[in-house]
Amino acid sequence: MSAGADRGFTAAEMMVVASARQLAGERVCFVGVGPPNIACNLARRTVAPDLELVYESGVYGARPARLPLSIGDPTLVTGSTLVAGQFELFAYFLQGGLVDVGFLGASQVDRFGNINTTVIGPYGRPAVRLPGSGGACEIAINARKVFVIMRQSRRSFVERLDFATSPGHLGGRRPAHWPGRGPSVVVTDLGIYRFAPDGEMELASLHPGVSLRQAREATGWELRVAQDLEETPPPTEEELRIIREELDPEGIYTR
């Protein structure tokens, strides 16, 4: 059941819209496929027209003629500005410091924005073997900011990670010499979370129809709430139209 369904939009749509709005004023975004891809393309049509997407597959300045179903979809290549090999992509674009925002998903996140995408259970004999880092570990360290987009529950918002794949604010503070400043926002199907100066996540905004109690119950630690807790403005007609007509007509990621 989705938080805002009775309001004429799905929780996934709210999550994508809220993520897209975070991209206002950003320039270069390192993006994987799925919800982040839709959020970025929505942002380009709304709050961030100059946003440039760098795909993990090495494609820069993509102009997809259809919704790409993977980050390696051929539609990303045709008509793009540049295709680089993966050494150049990771060494020069990402580690080289050209990426303003890196979008990460997560199976588990802790209060400091550290992320697990590797295993549930012990590493040697996991209950669930997850995909692993992919490029997430380097994105987490090298992108100027990191946006996390994920479904929220007590199983995903955890007191202690089973495995730290990609560092967030560690125990509260990142090493000064790191290029990136770490996670700046976590957008879930329930709300928007930001990070206090001490590196701990706090609830900044609840999506329409979501109660503070729901958010607390879906968090595996004593949730900190911002003084000025807001309600996320619902998706506009235009935002929903773009998602439903242009970006995800089959509702693969947003139904």
Partner 1 sequence: MTASKVTTMREAVAELVRDGDTVAIEGFTHLICFAAGHEIIRQRRRDLTLCRLTPDVIYDQMVAAGVARKLVFSWLGNPGVGSLHAVRRRVERADPEPLELEEYSHFGMVCRYVAGAARLPFFPLRSYEASDLPRANPRIVPVRSPYGDEVVYAVPPLKPDVAIVHAQRADAEGNAQLWGILGCQREAAFAAERVIVVCEELVDSEVIRRDPNRTAIPGLLVSAVVVEPRGCHPSYAQGYYDRDNRFYLEWDRISRDPERLQAWLEEWVYGLASHAEYVEKLGPERWKELEPGEAWSDPVNYGRYA
Q: Is residue 81 close enough to count as binding partner 1 by CB under 8 A?
A: yes
- Please choose, from the candidates 176, 175, 177, 210, the residue with its C-alpha nearest in 3D space to the C-alpha of residue 193: 210
Q: Name the segment binding partner 1 (CB under 8 A); options: 17-25, 48-56, 207-215, 231-239.
A: 48-56
Residue from 4, 35, 167, 199 touching partner 1 (CB under 8 A): that is 167
DSSP state for residue 233 in the 8-state scheme: P
- Nearest approach in angstroms of CB 160 to partner 1 is 12
- Nearest approach in angstroms of CB 80 to partner 1 is 5
Q: Spell out the long-range contacts of 220-227 with Cβ–Cβ below 8 A and sequence spacing 24 or more.
A: 220/154, 220/155, 220/157, 220/158, 220/159, 221/110, 221/111, 221/157, 221/158, 221/159, 224/111, 224/196, 224/200, 226/194, 226/202
DSSP string, 194-205: EE-TTS-EEEEE
Return the active site residues: 56
Q: Are 223 and 215 in contact (CB under 8 A)?
A: yes
Residues between 173 and 232 that touch partner 1 (CB under 8 A): 175, 177-179
User: Phi/psi at 4 (nearest 5 deg)?
Assistant: -110, 15
Q: Is residue 122 close enough to count as binding partner 1 by CB under 8 A?
A: no
Residues between 137 and 156 that touch partner 1 (CB under 8 A): 137-138, 141-142
Residue from 5, 6, 8, 65 touching partner 1 (CB under 8 A): that is 65
Helical H runs in the chain? 11-22, 35-45, 74-77, 86-88, 136-142, 212-217, 237-241
Residue from 2, 46, 95, 153 touching partner 1 (CB under 8 A): that is 95
Q: Is residue 133 close enough to count as binding partner 1 by CB under 8 A?
A: yes
Q: Name the segment binding partner 1 (CB under 8 A); options: 96-104, 149-157, 208-216, 237-245.
A: 96-104
- Nearest approach in angstroms of CB 14 to partner 1 is 22
Q: Are 239 and 42 in contact (CB under 8 A)?
A: yes
CA geometry: angle at 36 spanning 225 and 151, to 5°?
A: 45
- Nearest approach in angstroms of CB 207 to partner 1 is 26
- Contact residues for partner 1 (CB under 8 A)? 28, 33-34, 49-50, 52, 56-61, 63, 65-66, 69-75, 77-88, 90-92, 94-98, 118, 123, 125-138, 141-142, 163-167, 170, 175, 177-179
